[in-house]
């Protein structure tokens, strides 16, 4: 039996057990009331790749599938699956205004995320360890976050996201298998040094992100021509990444969504806020909008597994650059048809070097599709 098949069967068993644990518990009758328990709102699929920049190195590929719930107005502890209860209680002990905190009048939601990231050196033909280039690395992860949207004052509103990310670094991430399959399908070159990828070890990260923007009322979109600014900061702690960042996003266009903007893939980051209303009749029957956006993100990195290597094993590593700047431009096409929302976003990302031996910036593209079910 091939190693690839064993990995696939193991993942299927794992997700089957997780699904069973989420649905097996009996719930009190009052959990059927709106706003007390989880009701799925929609999903987002994001893909990032550097192929359109004519490169296949550094951060080579990333993909996430994110599932969001409707807003919770009066959340009840007994109405949630045990992972959500555990997550809420932990953050409630650390910070106020969590999912089960005393401030229940604000809009809150639960977000679940599954993703994979692949990192490779520049020289695909070299089967040996390349001392002055980043190691082969892969990450397979799952994240659970609590989002809260609230008014700071009459002019400013905010959204905070508190996330726990768990995963696996190394061969069990199936980065090698996914890249070889994708390159085989599209006729691309195969990388020869995967036997030197980082070793298997558990991945863990706790993150906190907060965003601010001008208050735009309780409408689903900012009707007509509009422009806005979104300010944010974040903190991540763990052996995936330990870092702090500040960012600014500007948007301009027609019928801009009343949300908190766009973002690149990384564990612990999500900008989709709780929905303003779960009643479909409150939404427009049809809306076709567009807006352009630009993002500048300054990050200080104290640890990054893809350049620092394994935390619990000796491994190949390079010299991390502590300061990383990310810039992005993009186009977003939000649409509402028959009271259901869709959004297609395209982004071009430029990033300064993450390690001293890199000697150049890196560029990649993102494509994201969101659906409000």
What gap in Å lies between CA 299 and CA 234, rounded to an integer? 9
Its domain, for residue 200, covers 3-372
What gap in Å lies between CA 269 and CA 235, rounded to an integer? 10
Of 77-81, 279-283, 319-323, the poorest mean pLDDT is in 279-283
Q: 185-195: per-residue pLDDT in tens?
A: 766 777 888 98
What sign does the CA torsion over 241, 242, 247, 251 have?
A: positive
Of 33-42, 64-73, 91-100, 338-347, the poorest mean pLDDT is in 91-100
Q: 90-125: per-residue pLDDT in tens?
A: 766 666 555 544 444 567 888 889 999 999 888 878
What does pTM read for this prediction? Answer: 0.84
Q: Which residues of 326-337 are buried (b: 16+ CB within 10 A; e: fewer)?
A: bebebebebebe
Q: H helices of the chain, where? A: 3-23, 82-94, 175-186, 305-308
What gap in Å lies between CA 132 and CA 42, rounded to an integer? 43
Q: What is the CATH number of the domain that holds 328?
A: 2.40.128.140
Q: Is the pLDDT of residue 53 over 70?
A: no
What gap in Å lies between CA 155 and CA 333, rounded to an integer? 26
What gap in Å lies between CA 329 and CA 366, rounded to an integer? 10
Cα–Cα nearest to 45, from 65, 30, 29: 65
Q: What are phi and psi of 136, to 5 degrees?
A: -65, 135
Please tell me the predicted confidence (pLDDT) of residue 336. 83
**How many domains does the chain fold into?**
1
pLDDT band of residue 349 (cuts 50, 70, 90) is very high
Looking at the chain, the number of H-run helices and the number of E-run strands are 4, 13
Which residue would you say has higher pLDDT here, 336 or 307?
307
**CB distance 292 to 252 below 8 Å:** yes
């Amino acid at each position: 039996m091939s190693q690839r098949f064993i990995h696939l069967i193991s993942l299927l068993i794992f997700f089957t057990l997780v699904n069973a644990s989420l649905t097996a518990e009996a719930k009190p009758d009052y959990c059927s009331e709106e706003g007390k328990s989880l009701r799925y709102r929609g999903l987002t699929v994001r893909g990032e790749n550097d192929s359109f920049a004519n490169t296949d190195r550094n951060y080579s590929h990333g993909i996430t599938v994110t599932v969001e719930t409707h807003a919770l107005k009066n959340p009840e502890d007994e109405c949630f699956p045990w992972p959500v209860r555990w997550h809420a209680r932990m953050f409630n002990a650390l910070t106020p205004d969590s999912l089960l905190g005393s401030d229940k009048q604000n809009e809150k939601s639960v977000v679940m995320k599954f993703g994979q990231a692949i990192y490779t050196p520049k020289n695909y033909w070299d089967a040996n360890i390349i001392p002055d280039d980043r190691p082969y690395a892969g990450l397979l992860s799952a994240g659970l976050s609590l989002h809260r949207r609230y008014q700071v004052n009459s002019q400013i509103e905010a959204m905070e996201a508190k996330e726990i990310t768990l995963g696996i670094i190394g061969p069990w991430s199936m980065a090698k298998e996914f890249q070889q399959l994708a390159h085989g399908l599209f006729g691309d070159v195969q990388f020869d040094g995967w036997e030197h990828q980082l070793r298997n070890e558990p991945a863990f990260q706790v993150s906190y992100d907060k965003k601010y923007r001008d208050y735009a009322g309780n409408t689903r979109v900012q009707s007509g021509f509009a422009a806005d600014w979104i300010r944010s900061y974040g903190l991540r702690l763990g052996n995936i990444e330990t870092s702090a960042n500040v960012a600014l996003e500007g948007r301009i266009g027609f019928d801009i969504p009343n949300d908190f903007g766009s973002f690149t893939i990384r564990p612990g980051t999500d900008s989709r806020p709780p929905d303003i209303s779960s009643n479909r009749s409150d939404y427009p029957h049809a809306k076709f909008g567009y807006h352009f956006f630009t993002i500048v993100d300054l990050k200080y990195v104290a640890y990054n597994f893809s350049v620092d290597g394994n935390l619990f094993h000796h491994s190949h590593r390079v010299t991390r650059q502590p300061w990383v700047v990310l810039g992005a431009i993009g186009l977003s096409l939000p649409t509402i048809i028959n009271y259901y929302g869709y959004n297609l976003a395209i982004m071009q990302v430029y990033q300064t070097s993450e390690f001293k031996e890199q000697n150049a910036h890196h560029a990649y593209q993102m494509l994201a599709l969101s659906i409000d079910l």
